[in-house]
Amino acid sequence: MKTYMAKAETTDKKWYVADASGKVLGRFASEIAHRLRGKHKPTYTPHVDTGDFIIVVNAEKIVVTGKKLIDKKYYSYSGYPGGLRETAAGKMLAEKPEDLIRIAVQGMLPKTNLGRKMLKKLKVYSGNAHIHEAQCPENLSI
């Protein structure tokens, strides 16, 4: 019996809408990363992008447990001396909640060209509205 290897052209990619209201950030992000990679499908192949498109709505209503809103820091470095910036999770949740979810999911995907391609299939929005109604997305219960 031969091992099945999926091809990128023949994989069936669906669109899903996930509501982040009241969900814990880490557990929510791990399920999203699982779906983006395609590991929930029987045709999963590690070197092929077999995952689905995920639309996350209500990003501002995500929950972070413990004292992470104060203690957890996100860093960005410009490459210049003195160019290290740090932002607390609470400030990021207030200003850019979309980036909070995107960074969490990005850390759970491969750090390769394939991982960057998978991350492009993640669409995150604050609020309940999104612009992908033409794709007829299905609800994803997490």
- 84-88 vs 73-77, strand pairing mode: antiparallel
Q: List the domains of the chain with CATH numbers.
A: 15-63+104-140 (3.90.1180.10)
Segment 98-137, tens digit of pLDDT: 999 999 999 999 999 999 999 999 999 999 999 999 999 9
Give the type of residue at 3. Answer: T
Three-state DSSP at 14 gives coil
pTM check: above 0.75: yes
Segment 47-60, tens digit of pLDDT: 999 999 999 999 99
| Residue 129 dihedral angles phi and psi, to the nearest 5° | -95, 145
Q: What is the CA 27 to chain-centroid distance, rounded?
A: 11
pLDDT above 90 as % of the chain: 94
Alpha-carbon dihedral angle through residues 16, 121, 55, 42, given to the nearest 10 degrees? 30
